[in-house]
Structure 1
């Protein structure tokens, strides 16, 4: 049986992960629920990392197409 739940966007994953962290930091969850939340948090973390890696790969491809191998750091203003 396959999971047909749609994969959340990066922003949705991050928001849900923040909510889980807040719930777990509160410390009022029963052990079983805390473990379920932890497992969900790990899954969201992995999905978010994968999304970031895919975005980074796309940036690298776009830069390569432009003949530029790496990102150029922003110049910082001396007033900051």
Structure 2
């Protein structure tokens, strides 16, 4: 797999999602030997968790949007994901 050697923490959401789609496509194809299927499944689960963490962080940032007195967005506050 193209992204197999990349550290997940360095992957963008888009890269991780594409890698996850590749894993799913290979598993659904049914052409992969059992041992490799297990490895692919484990990789897919790590990628899924990485994507979910990125989505959760994005949602938290959106929720940090500051509303002005008129109820409209007036800016944002920094969000520390660490």
Q: Secondary structure at the match of 1:29?
A: coil
Q: Which has the larger helix fraction?
A: 1
Q: TM-score, normalised by structure 1?
A: 0.72
Alpha-carbon distance in structure 2 between the residues aligned to 1:33 and 1:58: 37
Question: Equivalents in 2 of 1:5, 1:21: separation in Å?
Answer: 19
Query: How large is the RMSD of aligned CA atoms in angstroms?
Result: 1.6
Give the count of matched residue pairs. Answer: 63
**More strand per residue: 1 or 2?**
2
User: Mind listing any 5+ residue stretches in structure 1 that lack a counterpart?
Assistant: 69-80
Give the Cα separation in 1 of the matches to 2:17 and 2:8.
15
**Equivalent of 1:45, from 43, 48, 52?**
48
Q: CA offsets per residue over residues 46-65 of structure 1, 9 Å max, x none? A: 01001000000000001xx1
Larger Rg: 1
1:9 aligns with 2:3: no
